[in-house]
Structure 1
Amino acid sequence: MKRLIEFIRDNKLFFLLCTLAALALRLFFVFRYPHVAGDSFVYGDIAKNWLNHGIYGLTDGPDIRPTLIRLPGYPTFLALMFSIFGQEHYHAVMVAQALIDTNTCLVIAALALELMNARTAKAAYGLAALCPFVANYSAAPLSETLAVFCTAHALYYGIRGLKELQGGQQSARHWCFCGLWTAAAIYMRPDNLLLLVPFGTVLLFLMFRPLSKNRTAIAGTLLLLTSLGPLIPWTVRNWKTFHIFQPLASRYADDPGEFVPLGFNHWIKTWTVDFVSVDEVFWHVSGESISMNSLPERAFDSRPEYEATEKLIAAYNQQLYIDPALDWQFELLARERMNHNPFRYYLWLPALRIADMWLRPRTEMLPVDPRWWEFSNDPKESAFSFLWAVLNLLLLLAALRGWISWRLGLYGFVLAGFVLVRSLFLGTLENPEPRYMLECFPVVLVFAAGAFTRSRQTTTPSGST
């Protein structure tokens, strides 16, 4: 970190102004648009029960039942905040997140400095400080802010480890840091296990290069031990409590023995491509009615299929829950749709879901109509959403230009590989939510900063810092 500290000292005024701007933007969201709902209360309930009763569980009437639907990373953070500032003090949580996310900007600048040059690092810090798409999640008691924080650290230390490994230097310390930050990221969100894919691929590739195979093998071993080892206590706890092997969290946020409407989920996956469908249909099950008007035309392939779907939706609306019999009817409909057009199910719809998560206006944490394209409903909100979509698109185009302009070799492969692997995985989910892409934004911001600088300067090996 010596190089980074010297860099900050040489640009004190710039970093002071950008830090104040970054913190001001995040606090603006915290106090103007706080978003405490849904999953925030689930995390909070787990944290309070853990803090007050020593049970990692959910309130169930007068009882508390153990749960494994969420990994303990974010509940631990909430329990710590509640123990200091008092329970239900979510504003204190959000202010702390604003401070943490401001620090993430510095990690992004450090990553740009490691990969590119000082000018790019300054651009990366400015972009990260003023990027509203990550900043507004400081105002939501959700795991995203801390997940991005941990992911940025894991990428930074992993890149440093790779540079030292290729330079023939000792890299064990940085691979341990990379693994520990990866474990922290996994504890925030289980899909951050995907961080291991690009790093593991590059290390495997280096095993066949004229480098020290022993050093590469040690690096890979340390990465695995430090990233997966911290999951052992959680895995043991789940085995003792539920008698199942679960090192992460359940796929559908269900505890052992709970019924999951897999048929309904399968049917949803045969047509959903956007966040609006998640908000108006997927999240309504169970407990809220579903309007047929909320289903897009792509949900039906024929008039008989429309009528069959209408019948199933009507049956659900009568009871507001899905029992095994109704779920099986949805499964049959899903199989019919999947068999009718396998290309659509396996390739086209996942591609559209990925596009929606990357390109839609990132206004889901703001009081803005998610049907932003319907200008007749609220022209001002639609115009605002459109401008945010344009801003998001410009950032992504800048990132693409920066990635192409800078020849980063294996380091660029790791960063771009993480974005690609994560995108492909998220495309397989039936609930495309823009927030799932936030862990990719440290990479996006670094690449985007590279679009505003030239790659004439060579990067300095991290071992010289």
Structure 2
Amino acid sequence: MTRRRIQLGLWVALPLVLGLALRLWFIAHFARIDGDTLLYGDIAKNWLEHGVYGFTRTGIAPRPTLIRLPGYPLFLAACFRVFGMEHYTAVMVVQSVIDLFTCLVVSALAGRLFGRRAAVVALWLAALCPFTANYVAAPLTETLSLACIAVAFYGLERWRTTALGLNRWLWAITFALAYAVLLRPEQGLLAAAVLGAMLWICLRGRDWTRSVWPVAVAAVCMVLPLAPWAVRNWRTFHVIQPLAPRSATDQGELDPLGFQRWYGTWAIDFASTEDVYWNYDGAEIDISDVPSRAFDSEEQYEQTNALLNDYNQTDNATATIDARFEKIAEQRIQDDPVRYYVALPVARLGNMMFRPRTEMMPIPLYWWHWDHPEKSWFAAGYAGLNLLYFLLAGVGFWLWRMRGWDGNPALAWSMMGFVLLRCAVLLTLDNSEPRYTLEFFPVMVVWAAVIAARPNEALVES
């Protein structure tokens, strides 16, 4: 028995050690501190130094903002307070620890559902997943969001097997859901999936009137942290904004709906997001970076080229420029509404799921051009590894269904509901970013672990 425990301990410790090494390697070689990271960091710094939740302005007080929810700036502020202002390396190391904690939670959930061997397989799949590990090297919301997803579903399983009351697992679920929403507004989808499953479990019970009210308490407590944020936004900006605006613009700033609509009439790949979408209102946009599918005729090409030339004179978005983009967008949507409303959204979602997840690495955006064969081969292999995770998850989900959900259909459909709801929201986005589907991985690893489950194996108590 002692020898068996030692072997099991090695099988648990080894992936964690290798997982930590992988994450530290990403930090050492592919740390990325730019873009949204600097926005979050600036907010956290001004919050600590000036008591203003906003952006730095030269020579005057910081400008308040509401374009980012306070969950991640709060995390950065805590790290800055402990490790030093703008010490992003320390932040990334802390994220590594959090991500390994997520791996343990995912493993524990797989163990409770499918047995000890499934738990070990889940731990290896999670700890050595390069796609989630890569994001600890970027101070962004992804790592913390993954942790919240794992805790929410693990808490749901533990709560289901207890008295369904106001116990510690209910509070764990509530905290995970509340903080997830404070990190990113679309994480309300996680709350819908988990709370919906909890309600379903209660309604199927005999004394459902007694068991439903803890779910109601959890729902109320989950949204309570948003109240101070909503009050602050009303007092500062005089707007009702309990989350963050979809446009990521502050009051008085131009919301480039025309440009976004035009972009949505042709955009598919992440390369266009980086070359065109992110450049708008701040950098030049080259017509050569716009693919041929963006033009239905030579006349439309000339019209778009003239518009981009006018924009490139100042690299600033204006209402006039935006209106011209809107005019072209309307024409293209009229010409082919199926393309705009169906084909392109599905293509973008497919790109977000199956594109090589090399956006954090020095790999060419147009990796399929084979200008750098070694990097293109690496990207193709990375895409294959990503596809393998999806295939394993699909097979595992099917096997779980064949096992009758192991008596836990509520959790199964809660996890699937979360994935489907997120896909539905992603279909509405114009900009394709692979990181938006990173949230699938905690769920996918649990499903994949079903493949390793033995029939009638004793479940892991954890």
TM class, shorter-length: over 0.9
Q: CA deviation at 1:296?
A: 1.5
Q: What is the aligned partner in structure 2 of residue 51 from structure 1?
A: 48
Deviation by residue 1:351-391 (Cα, 9 ceiling, x = unmatched): 1111111100011111111111111x111111110000000
Q: What is the aligned partner in structure 2 of residue 3 from structure 1?
A: none
Q: What is the aligned partner in structure 2 of residue 99 from structure 1?
A: 97
Q: What is the aligned partner in structure 1 of residue 10 from structure 2?
A: 13
In structure 2, the CA distance between the partners of 1:52 and 1:292, relative to structure 1 (3 Å rule), is same
Identity fraction in percent: 44
Q: CA deviation at 1:303?
A: 2.3
Q: What is the aligned partner in structure 1 of residue 216 from structure 2?
A: 221
Q: CA deviation at 1:60?
A: 2.1
Q: Map 1:48-447; keep pairs closer than 5 Å.
A: 48-63=45-60, 64-164=62-162, 169-170=164-165, 172-206=167-201, 209=204, 211-375=206-370, 377-407=371-401, 408=405, 409-447=409-447
TM-score normalised by L of structure 1: 0.92
Deviating more after overlay: 193-202 vs 284-293:
193-202
Instruction: Work out the CA distance in 2 between the residues paired with 1:336 and 1:220.
Output: 49
Instruction: Work out the CA distance in 2 between the residues paired with 1:308 and 1:212.
Output: 67
The number of equivalent residue pairs is 452
In structure 2, the CA distance between the partners of 1:8 and 1:159, relative to structure 1 (3 Å rule), is farther
Confirm or deny: 8 A CA contact 1:206 1:216 kept in the other structure.
Answer: no
Instruction: Work out the CA distance in 2 between the residues paired with 1:390 and 1:347.
Output: 26
Confirm or deny: 8 A CA contact 1:154 1:182 kept in the other structure.
Answer: yes
Q: CA deviation at 1:33?
A: 1.4
Confirm or deny: 8 A CA contact 2:44 2:77 kept in the other structure.
Answer: yes
Confirm or deny: 8 A CA contact 2:68 2:248 kept in the other structure.
Answer: yes
Q: CA deviation at 1:111?
A: 1.5
What is the one-letter code of the residue matched to 2:333? M
Q: CA deviation at 1:201?
A: 3.5
Q: CA deviation at 1:61?
A: 2.4
User: What is the CA RMSD across the aligned residues, in angstroms?
Assistant: 2.0
Deviating more after overlay: 151-160 vs 178-187:
151-160
Deviation by residue 1:168-217 (Cα, 9 ceiling, x = unmatched): 65465423321211111111122111112223433454565353321442
Q: CA deviation at 1:37?
A: 1.0
Confirm or deny: 8 A CA contact 1:239 1:246 kept in the other structure.
Answer: yes
What is the one-letter code of the residue matched to 2:57? D
Instruction: Work out the CA distance in 2 between the residues paired with 1:49 and 1:43.
Output: 10
Confirm or deny: 8 A CA contact 1:123 1:452 kept in the other structure.
Answer: yes
In structure 2, the CA distance between the partners of 1:20 and 1:45, relative to structure 1 (3 Å rule), is same
Instruction: Work out the CA distance in 2 between the residues paired with 1:42 and 1:132.
Output: 25
Tell me the SS of whatever aligns to 1:58: strand
Q: What is the aligned partner in structure 2 of residue 4 from structure 1?
A: none
Deviating more after overlay: 213-222 vs 295-304:
213-222
What is the one-letter code of the residue matched to 1:278? T
Instruction: Work out the CA distance in 2 between the residues paired with 1:344 and 1:458.
Output: 51
Deviating more after overlay: 389-398 vs 190-199:
190-199
Instruction: Work out the CA distance in 1 between the residues paired with 2:451 and 2:338.
Output: 36
Deviation by residue 1:52-79 (Cα, 9 ceiling, x = unmatched): 1111110122221111111111111111
Deviation by residue 1:406-453 (Cα, 9 ceiling, x = unmatched): 132222111111111112201211111111112221001111222233
Q: CA deviation at 1:310?
A: 1.6
Instruction: Work out the CA distance in 2 between the residues paired with 1:456 and 1:372.
Output: 46
Deviating more after overlay: 343-352 vs 448-457:
448-457
Deviating more after overlay: 152-161 vs 235-244:
152-161
In structure 2, the CA distance between the partners of 1:172 and 1:225, relative to structure 1 (3 Å rule), is farther
What is the one-letter code of the residue matched to 1:150? C
- In the alignment, structure 2 segments of 5+ residues that lack a partner are none
In structure 2, the CA distance between the partners of 1:307 and 1:132, relative to structure 1 (3 Å rule), is same
Confirm or deny: 8 A CA contact 1:50 1:57 kept in the other structure.
Answer: yes
Q: CA deviation at 1:158?
A: 2.1
- In the alignment, structure 1 segments of 5+ residues that lack a partner are 1-6
What is the one-letter code of the residue matched to 1:423? C
What is the one-letter code of the residue matched to 1:397? L
Q: CA deviation at 1:405?
A: 0.4
Instruction: Work out the CA distance in 1 between the residues paired with 2:203 and 2:164.
Output: 18
Confirm or deny: 8 A CA contact 2:106 2:445 kept in the other structure.
Answer: yes
Instruction: Work out the CA distance in 1 between the residues paired with 2:200 and 2:301.
Output: 51
Instruction: Work out the CA distance in 2 between the residues paired with 1:8 and 1:162.
Output: 29
Equivalent of 1:28, from 2, 25, 30?
25
In structure 2, the CA distance between the partners of 1:314 and 1:169, relative to structure 1 (3 Å rule), is closer
Q: CA deviation at 1:233?
A: 1.2
What is the one-letter code of the residue matched to 2:43? I
What is the one-letter code of the residue matched to 1:236? V
Confirm or deny: 8 A CA contact 1:175 1:222 kept in the other structure.
Answer: no
In structure 2, the CA distance between the partners of 1:274 and 1:454, relative to structure 1 (3 Å rule), is farther
Confirm or deny: 8 A CA contact 2:156 2:411 kept in the other structure.
Answer: no
